């Protein structure tokens, strides 16, 4: 082996003060904070599930024919059990809902999450092997207000972060009976044009034909203009819910466009489907997607459908979009106090004072090594400290310390006995 280990391709470290292309952890924490705050305001409760799940849950929950399950799962065996690093959280959350009998709790369940997900995709801008999703689910009702509420909380997060240039697209996929009928009609229409399709679409024609509607290939888009339209196959209930959802979004002033070609990659969606895009982040432009998934519960072993709707969004893409919009992001937190020690006795004294000030709630830093005054002052500047305390062996004999106010540049000698109290009073 040559050199040191590196992160696996498609994964990355988060570092304080990091430069692009790495994400600064300060930005990450700011975004997480906004997500928690907005979710809390909308009455969603946080849920954290394990990163490891049974492979069967994901395979059955997402569908064997999807790209995720057929090509992108990180799985491994231990004994006779197969484990998967979760590629998304909707199936795990439905598992948790069923496992903990949350249907017995009063009212609908509003749940939200933030956490890492794993997919063995070809890494590129906006597409990673370890990425992070946040999202929300409302479980236990088929009321279209739940669909509108999930979209509203999602939009509120982007609005709070002042991200503009997003576009919301919505569609309805109909119910469990609609889709097979539409699928048949679509396959019938496309089969004579098989040779004109790309290799991927030819594969999809037999495995997952609805995904062809998603195509970005111009010639295929033209071909699809005359294809059967999903909307013509929709049952009355689905149509009614869709109209209600549109009305609710309009009254909430959430703008959207209807996109009859919008289908979701995942198999368990019924009725509402939506996607949020951003124009400034390149080819991987989807910030978030979601919809209704009443059929997920029976797919993973429940005896009956459980009406549910949710969204899932990518953290990395959100941060890419914030960077592209040049929005001001938080810097590293400044220090209240930076201790400088010149000499070993001063070093011990400074260390004790440091802990006293921290215990009182101040953010205090110091170098652990006896470097020159100049070098330590440079660190104090980098830490943006408000006050710098300088302890030197010589002044300690007189029980004095120097305090420098970095804002005004004023410097004073303070008796050691009063130093901690003075600083705490000034800075707390
Ligand atoms: P999905 O579960 O595929 O609908 O994904 C929901 C959101 O997660 C997408 O809109 C993206 O923002 C994000 N996402 C999905 N896959 C990846 C990935 N491999 N890398 C980064 N973000 C992703």
Task: For residue range 74-88, list pLDDT tens digits in order.
Answer: 999 999 999 999 999
CA dist 219 and 247 (Å) reads 34
Ligand 1 midpoint to CA 228 (Å): 29
CA dist 45 and 110 (Å) reads 6
> Which residue segments constitute the domains of the chain, with CATH numbers given?
14-178+234-324 (3.30.930.10), 337-422 (3.40.50.800)
Asked whether the predicted pLDDT for residue 57 surpasses 70, the reply is yes
CA dist 120 and 114 (Å) reads 20
The residue-averaged pLDDT of 212-241 equals 89
Tens digit of each residue's pLDDT (9 = 90 or more) over 135-172: 999 999 999 999 999 999 999 999 999 998 999 999 99
Tens digit of each residue's pLDDT (9 = 90 or more) over 11-47: 999 998 877 778 889 999 999 999 999 999 999 999 9
Which atom of ligand 1 sits closest to the CA of residue 275?
10
Which tokens go with 192? 């004579």
Pairing mode, if any, of strands 166-172 and 257-258? parallel
Ligand 1 midpoint to CA 314 (Å): 5
Q: Count the Cβ atoms, other than its own, within 10 Å of residue 59.
A: 21
pLDDT at 331: 79
Q: Are 340 and 395 in contact (CB under 8 A)?
A: no
Q: What angle do CA 65, 72, 295 make, to 5 degrees?
A: 40
Tell me the helices (H) and strands (E) count for the chain, helix number first. 15, 16
**Alpha carbon nearest to ligand 1 atom 14, residue:** 314
* Ligand 1 interacting residues, C-beta cut-off 6 A: 88, 119, 121, 126-128, 131, 133, 265, 286-289, 312-314, 316-317
Q: Are 135 and 311 in contact (CB under 8 A)?
A: yes
Q: Which residue's entry shows tokens 């997060």?
A: 157
**In terms of residues, how long is the chain?**
428
Q: Tell me the backbone φ, ψ of residue 51, rounded to 5 degrees.
A: -70, -35
Taking CA atoms, 311 is separated from 89, 168, 257, 298, in Å, by 10, 12, 17, 20
pLDDT at 208: 81
Pairing mode, if any, of strands 130-139 and 308-314? antiparallel
CA dist 27 and 328 (Å) reads 10
Asked whether the predicted pLDDT for residue 1 surpasses 70, the reply is no
**Alpha carbon nearest to ligand 1 atom 10, residue:** 288
Pairing mode, if any, of strands 286-292 and 364-366? unpaired
The residue-averaged pLDDT of 406-422 equals 94
Q: Are 380 and 329 in contact (CB under 8 A)?
A: no
CA dist 365 and 109 (Å) reads 44
The overall longest dimension of the chain from CA atoms, in Å, is 96
Taking CA atoms, 82 is separated from 64, 90, 96, 326, 352, in Å, by 15, 19, 19, 44, 52
Asked whether the predicted pLDDT for residue 53 surpasses 80, the reply is yes
Asked whether the predicted pLDDT for residue 265 surpasses 70, the reply is no
Is residue 28 helix, strand or coil? helix
Best mutation site among 117, 150, 282 for ligand 1 pocket (most ligand atoms within 8 Å of CB): 117
8: Cβ contacts below 8 Å, ≥ 6 apart: 129, 130
CA dist 310 and 320 (Å) reads 23
């Amino acid at each position: 082996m040559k050199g040191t280990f590196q992160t696996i391709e498609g994964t990355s470290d988060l570092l304080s003060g990091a430069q692009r292309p790495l994400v600064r952890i300060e930005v990450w924490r700011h975004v997480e904070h906004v997500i928690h705050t907005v979710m809390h305001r909308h009455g969603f409760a946080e849920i954290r599930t394990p990163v490891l799940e049974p492979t069967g849950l994901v395979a059955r929950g997402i569908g064997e024919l999807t790209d995720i399950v057929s090509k992108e799962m990180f799985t491994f065996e231990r004994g006779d059990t197969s484990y998967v690093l979760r590629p998304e959280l909707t199936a795990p959350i439905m598992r948790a809902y069923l496992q903990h009998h949350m249907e017995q709790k009063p009212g609908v369940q509003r749940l939200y999450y933030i956490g890492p997900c794993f997919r063995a995709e070809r890494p590129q801008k906006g597409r990673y092997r370890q990425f992070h999703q946040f999202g929300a689910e409302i479980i236990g009702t088929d009321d279209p207000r739940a669909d509108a509420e999930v979209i509203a909380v999602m939009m509120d997060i982007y609005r709070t972060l002042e991200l503009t240039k997003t576009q919301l697209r919505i569609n309805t996929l109909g119910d469990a009976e609609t889709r097979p009928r539409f699928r048949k009609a679509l396959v019938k229409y496309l089969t004579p044009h098989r040779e004109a399709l790309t290799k991927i679409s030819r594969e999809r024609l037999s495995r997952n034909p609805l995904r062809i509607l998603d195509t970005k290939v111009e010639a295929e888009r033209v071909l699809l203009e005359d294809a059967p339209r999903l909307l013509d196959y929709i049952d009355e209930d689905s149509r009614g819910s869709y109209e209600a959802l549109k009305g609710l979004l309009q009254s909430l002033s959430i703008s959207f466009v209807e996109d009859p070609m919008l289908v979701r990659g995942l198999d368990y969606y019924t009725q509402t489907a939506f996607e949020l895009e951003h124009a400034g982040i390149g080819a991987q432009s989807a910030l978030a997607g979601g919809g209704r998934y009443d059929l997920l519960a029976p797919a993973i072993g429940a005896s009956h459908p459980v009406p549910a709707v949710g969204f899932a969004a990518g953290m990395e893409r959100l941060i890419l979009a914030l960077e592209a919009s040049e929005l001001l992001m938080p810097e590293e937190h400044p220090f209240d106090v930076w201790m400088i020690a010149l000499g070993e006795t001063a070093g011990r004294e400074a260390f004790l004072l440091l802990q006293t000030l921290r215990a009182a709630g101040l953010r205090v830093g110091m170098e652990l090594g006896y470097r020159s005054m100049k070098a330590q002052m440079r660190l104090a500047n980098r830490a943006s400290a408000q006050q710098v305390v300088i302890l030197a062996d010589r002044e300690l004999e007189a029980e004095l310390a120097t305090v420098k106010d970095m804002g005004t540049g004023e410097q004073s000698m303070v008796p050691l006995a009063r130093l901690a109290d003075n600083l705490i009073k000034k800075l707390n």
